[in-house]
């Protein structure tokens, strides 16, 4: 399995704050990889560095064999990297369809006008919002806004999709629907990296898990390895959780 995303010695500082330190990590094509860790561990910063929001202070990043260490967000999008945000903020005065069409045009995956609208409708139907295309985006429920965020990302036709706490604030039924969507996205051949605090979600969904703590990569492996790793138990899971989960 070929490596789609490769980070080599990546660090990011904000003044005196070390948000990421010497991260070396490879994401194979076609996997669903979970990123876990305590609040402030550097999970969102990792996504921001990959997508060009905050350039790495040190190290290098390669995507599909190409150096993207210094790309801007719009360049990352056009190379096939899409992301969602922890706090969902659609363009409130635009319709649901206009939000998704704008994403397609931003990434250059569709032309202006009818082509972008057709792309938007296709992705909105995929996420279950086909009947809401003409609604103002700010009229949607939280769960629907989360699905809109996914549709916007899919309209960019990504090779890699970075999901930042896509299940936050959802009830159990809504979480199950979101997981079904993520599996369907993966089945399309999209590689997925998901930041998630719900361990049942991570253990059910992900083929591999990466653990950050104080900006450092402390573990990476399959779910059984991670829940039994002493460093992960101490830093994040706690002994009760590790003992409760089957190896």
Question: Domain for residue 125, yes or no?
Answer: no
Question: Domain for residue 162, yes or no?
Answer: yes
Q: What is the pLDDT of residues 7-50, one digit of tens each?
A: 999 999 998 899 999 999 999 999 999 999 998 899 999 999 99
CB 180 within 8 A of CB 167: no
Predicted TM-score (pTM) of this structure:
0.91
Question: Domain for residue 85, yes or no?
Answer: no
The residue range of the domain holding 169 is 28-80+158-247
CB 154 within 8 A of CB 126: yes
Question: Domain for residue 65, yes or no?
Answer: yes
CATH number at residue 169: 3.40.50.300
Strands (E), 32-156: 32-36, 58-63, 66-67, 81-83
Q: What is the pLDDT of residues 160-191, one digit of tens each?
A: 999 999 998 899 999 999 999 999 999 999 99
CB 50 within 8 A of CB 28: no
Proportion of the chain above pLDDT 90, given as a percent: 68
Q: How many domains does the chain divide into?
A: 1
Q: Which residue has the tokens 């998630």?
A: 196
Question: Domain for residue 98, yes or no?
Answer: no
Confidence of residue 76 (pLDDT cuts 50, 70, 90): very high
Q: Which residue has the tokens 């985006």?
A: 137
The number of beta carbons lying within 10 Å of the beta carbon of residue 229 is 20
**208 vs 240, which has greater pLDDT?**
208
Distance CA(44)–CA(53), nearest Å, equals 11
Question: Domain for residue 76, yes or no?
Answer: yes
Q: Is pLDDT above 50 for 246?
A: no
Confidence of residue 247 (pLDDT cuts 50, 70, 90): very low
CB 47 within 8 A of CB 83: yes
Question: Domain for residue 166, yes or no?
Answer: yes
The terminus-to-terminus CA distance of the chain in angstroms comes to 25
The number of beta carbons lying within 10 Å of the beta carbon of residue 17 is 10
Question: Domain for residue 247, yes or no?
Answer: yes
């Amino acid at each position: 399995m070929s490596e789609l995303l490769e980070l080599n010695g990546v660090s990011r500082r904000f003044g005196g704050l070390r948000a990421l330190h010497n991260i070396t990590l490879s994401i194979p094509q076609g996997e669903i990889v979970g990123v876990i860790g305590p609040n402030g561990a550097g999970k969102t910063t990792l996504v921001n560095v990959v997508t060009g929001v905050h350039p790495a202070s040190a190290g290098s990043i390669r995507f599909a064999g190409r150096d993207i260490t210094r790309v801007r967000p719009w360049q990352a999008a056009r190379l096939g990297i899409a992301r969602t945000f922890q706090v969902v903020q659609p363009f409130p005065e635009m319709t649901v369809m206009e939000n998704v069409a704008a994403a397609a045009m931003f990434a250059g995956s569709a032309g202006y006008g009818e082509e972008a609208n057709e792309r938007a409708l296709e992705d909105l139907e995929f996420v279950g919002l086909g009947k809401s295309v003409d609604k103002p985006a700010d009229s949607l429920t939280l769960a629907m806004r989360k699905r809109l965020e996914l549709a916007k990302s899919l309209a960019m036709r990504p090779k890699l999709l970075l999901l930042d706490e896509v299940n936050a604030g959802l009830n159990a039924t809504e979480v199950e629907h979101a997981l079904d969507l993520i599996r369907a996205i993966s089945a399309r051949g999209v590689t997925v990296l998901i930041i998630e605090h719900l361990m049942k979600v991570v253990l059910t969904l992900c083929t591999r898990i990466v653990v950050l703590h104080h900006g450092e990569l402390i573990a990476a492996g399959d779910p059984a390895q991670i829940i039994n790793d002493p460093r992960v138990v101490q830093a994040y899971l706690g002994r009760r959780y590790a003992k409760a989960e089957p190896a």
